Amino acid sequence: MSTIGSSLEQEVVAKVPKGLFVDGAWRDASGGATLAVEDPSTGEALCEVADATPQDAMAALDAACAAQAEWAATAPRERGEILRRAYEAVVGRADELALLMTLEMGKPVAESRAEVLYAADFLRWFSEEAVRIEGRWATAPNGGMRMLTMRQPVGPCLLITPWNFPLAMGARKIGPAVAAGCTMVVKPAKQTPLSMLALAQILDDCGLPDGVLNVFTASSASATTGPLIDDPRLRKLSFTGSTEVGRQLMGQASRHVLRVSMELGGNAPFVVFEDADLDAAVDGAMVAKMRNIGEACTAANRFHVHASVADAFTEKLAARMDALKVGRGVEDGVQVGPLIDDDQRGKVRELVEDALERGAQAVVGGRELDGRGHFYAPTVLANVPGEARLLREEIFGPVAPIATFEREDEAIAAANKTEYGLVAYVFTRDLDRALRVIERLETGMVGLNQGLVSNAAAPFGGVKQSGFGREGGAEGIDEYLSVKYAAIRAG
């Protein structure tokens, strides 16, 4: 997309419904409260959206519960075709949705467009999976009975999503829930609700029956979702967000032994062996580190580079990082947008200062950028000592800390030295080593010689404190299905 004028920006924001989407209708919050959505590149308010009360949230759950039985009985093909139409509609409106996303979240428009297409892909993938929900028929080993298994929708779901991927994190929950025959209440992050509101309207336009999808926006996540999690009619909670909040929600969910899926934080190691193609490693590093301004759960959080190639890798990476154009994501050629807010920028600043105080060197960047918006300079830190906080904590910003290793075992131990286990990146040209290392990494996903793992057809998810459950792939729909088994007396 070329230069975007402010009238176009206003137009795409104006087009989005700002209310609560409950039982197929848009309504204001009871009491009429609203909350502001801000453009992180300017700090200015874009618009106001409804600020739901706990009663509004409960009305959304009521609608989901009322629609559940009929929706579960809807033909799988019909469910799939709604998703397929939504896929076409999202792709058809990709430019407009990308601009909207950039305005509320900050990432460059080209990256927003990539997210819109990635989100659409979940709708297409699960439109295809809706008709493949199968069971089994078997004879018991002793021949004494027949065993029938079937997979049925779990029931009404609560889906809570973060601000960093405002459309994709929702689409990869809504897609399988719709395909499986579940109804749902979605609560997007308060900082980036517009993409989700736009998607709700698209799904409505594409024929999703009233009550199947309900969306509310709220200034208080805990006050609005708490009563829903406590309600025994809710059967499933799927959460994407921080490990800290995930832990709290798991505690709440234990009361009614709710099914839960948790897509939580990450601390991805990016390991470069001495035999790696260094140019490919730097290309991969730019994607793994800088996609989404570093605000991704899959972001390479720390680089472990073999000592013999560390200087060359650092030099090449620093040159690429230094050349990046930082600015408002809607402007032509911008490759790095602002961080989501000043708290996030403050956290990045603190982690970088800690590393520098402990002896790391800033090869490029290492500072905030002046002016409006929450900008931080793309940064490469060399010789980062093992005790630096940013090797342990999720940075969520454009900062690449580089540490070195000498032996393969040492690299694997360093990579696994974290309570997180979402993804790891490995660069080597030695196939035996690659397989050995992949097997020993304690993560749910590995990128081998590439810096991007996300794909609607692949099972995305973590181990350890990065959570459990998988989104996408053949596995993704299982999160929304329960297995029922019937023991049948053989005649």
Closest approach, Cβ 139 to ligand NAP, in A, equals 41
Shortest spacing between CB 438 and ligand NAP, in angstroms: 19
Shortest distance, position 486 Cβ to ligand NAP, whole Å: 35
Q: Is 297 a catalytic residue?
A: yes
- Compare residues 159 and 206 and give the one whose CB is closer to ligand NAP: 159
Smaller CB separation from ligand NAP, 298 or 428 = 298
Residue 35 has what DSSP assignment? E
Choose between 216 and 405: whose C-beta lies nearer to ligand NAP.
216
Comparing CB distances to ligand NAP, the nearer of 210 and 468 is 468
Is 245 in a helix, a strand, or coil? helix
User: Do 292 and 112 meet the contact criterion of CB atoms below 8 Å apart?
Assistant: no
The total number of residues written for the chain in this structure: 491
Closest distance to ligand NAP from the beta carbon of 132 (Å):
24
**Minimum CB–partner distance for residue 466 and ligand NAP (Å):** 6
Closest CA to 292 of 108, 480, 146, 439: 108
Contact 381/352 with Cβ under 8 angstroms?
Answer: yes
**Inter-helix orientation angle 194-205/168-180, to 10°:** 30
DSSP string over 419-475: S--SEEEEE-S-HHHHHHHHHH--SSEEEES-S----TTS-B--SGGGEE--BSTTT
Please report how close the Cβ of residue 265 comes to ligand NAP at its closest, in angstroms: 3
User: Which residues share a beta bridge with 430?
Assistant: none
Q: Which residues bind ligand NAP (CB under 6 A)?
A: 160-165, 169, 187, 189-191, 221-222, 225, 240-242, 245, 248-249, 263-266, 297, 394, 422, 462, 466-467
Known catalytic residue: 157? no
Instruction: Give Cβ neighbours of residue 49 (< 8 Å, ≥ 6 apart).
Output: 18, 19, 34, 35, 37, 193, 194, 197, 217
Cβ distance to ligand NAP smaller for residue 302 or 320: 302
Residue nearest to ligand NAP (CB): 241
Q: Which is nearer to ligand NAP, 225 or 404 (CB)?
A: 225
Q: Which of 297, 408, 471, 479 is catalytic?
A: 297
Q: Is 266 left (phi over 0), alpha (psi -120 to 50) or beta?
A: beta
Could you tell me which residues are beta bridge partners of residue 35?
49
Q: Which of 263, 394, 471, 479 is catalytic?
A: 263
Residue 83, φ and ψ in degrees, nearest 5: -65, -40
Known catalytic residues are: 263, 297
